[in-house]
Amino acid sequence: MNGPDLIARTMSVPSIQDEHGNLWQYHSRSDRHSKVACWATMFDLLQHSALLRRHVAEGKVAFGVNHEFADFRTRRKKKLDLVIHRPGSAADGRIGRTFTDLGTSLTLEFDAAERAALADLPELREAPVGTVLMALEAKACMTKHVGSGPRLYDELNSSHLTVHGAADQAIAVAFVMVNASSTFISPDSNRRPLGPSQPPPKITPLRQPHATEFILGKVSELPTRTRPGHEGYDAIGIVVIDCPNDGTTVSVVTAPPAPAVNDLFSYESMIRRVANQYDFLNSNL
């Protein structure tokens, strides 16, 4: 599967500029990492579900970005990063940007095999949202893991509740990226120009592997479900990376405490589970 390596390769290039002119690989006030993660996840799903590819080719489904759900039960509103849906009647034949266009705007760092795979896929397009079939939320925990864990849990938990409160049949998916680096240069702790002629940046030490293990434990507490009519995520995938945020290459961590390939919360298990659920739930679309 391409997703984790594509995400790490893309994040390795500092592309987020702050108000001081510094370029960062990760910045907490930017949603670039979430959009990259969602794009990469959908890229793998398109390759692993023949039914989804057929629906895309036939124009039966489209994608939406930052779609706002309204929970019918609680009136709670929340925006989800990426949705796959049946185009709404408001589309009226309007054609938005393509999935490839979205990838281009994110300046994804493809290798040759990924470019060839993308070229072979039918063109998924953006359109006004009708019936939501799948909703994807992407979150990252890069520093201050123990302090961030409860908030991360609450944000993720509210997402599946809102999705299924609005569309119970929709597949709710959570992507969680966890930083296993032993150090991190935080943009929030370095709000000044950085460079060779400037004082060195403040480096935050991270207590590893405890910090990563803590977040994995919090994510594993999220409710899951096996069929519509219940509360919980339909699939959760965790990707562990090594990102000091210092301009060095970002790498995917596969050794413990990262989930093994066959773990329920591994990225690979998430893709297989979502592809199978999509095929089962939408065979009559």
Nearest Cα to Cα of residue 256 among 222, 209, 206, 215: 209
Report domain extents, the chain. Answer: 3-281
CA distances 19 to 87, 192, 247, Å, are 38, 9, 18
What SS3 class is residue 217? helix
Q: What is the pLDDT of residue 268?
A: 98
**pLDDT at 94 exceeding the cut of 60:** no
pTM above 0.85, yes or no: yes
Please state, in angstroms and as integers, the Cα–Cα distance from residue 253 to each residue in 130, 181, 259, following that order. Answer: 38, 10, 9
Give the pLDDT score at 55: 98
The 10s digit of each residue's pLDDT in 107-117 is: 999 999 999 99
DSSP character string of 117-165:
HHHHS---BB--EEEEEEEEEEEEE-S-HHHHHHHHHHHHHHHHHHHHH
Q: Grade residue 220 by pLDDT with cuts at 50, 70 and 90.
A: very high
**Percentage of residues of the chain with pLDDT beyond 70:** 98
Give percent of the chain with pLDDT exceeding 90.
87
The residue that leads in pLDDT, 258 or 227, is 258
Cα–Cα dist 173/37, whole Å? 12
- CA 224 – CA 12 distance, rounded (Å): 32
Neighbouring residues of 282: CB distance < 8 A, sequence distance ≥ 6: 51, 55, 133
Q: What is the mean pLDDT of residues 11-17?
A: 97
How buried is residue 19: exposed, middle or buried, by Cβ count under 10 Å (0-12/13-18/19+)?
exposed
Give residue 183's pLDDT: 98
Contact 133/55 with Cβ under 8 angstroms?
no
User: What pLDDT was estimated at residue 90?
Assistant: 56
DSSP 65: E
**Among 32, 6, 75, CA closest to 271:** 6
Token pair, residue 162, equals: 């809102």
The 10s digit of each residue's pLDDT in 58-92 is 999 999 998 888 777 777 788 889 999 999 865 45
Residue 88's pLDDT is what?
A: 80
The pLDDT score that the predictor gives to residue 93 is 53
- Classify residue 197 by burial, with Cβ atoms within 10 Å: 0-12, 13-18, 19+: exposed
Residue whose tokens read 């970005």: 65
Per-residue pLDDT tens for 251-272?
Answer: 999 999 999 999 999 999 999 9
Q: What is the mean pLDDT of the chain?
A: 94
Output the pLDDT for position 241: 98
The verdict on whether omega for the bond into residue 244 sits within 30 degrees of 0, i.e. cis, is no
Amino acid 78 reads K
Q: Please state the rounded mean pLDDT for residues 39-68.
A: 96
Band of the pLDDT at 203, cuts 50, 70, 90? very high
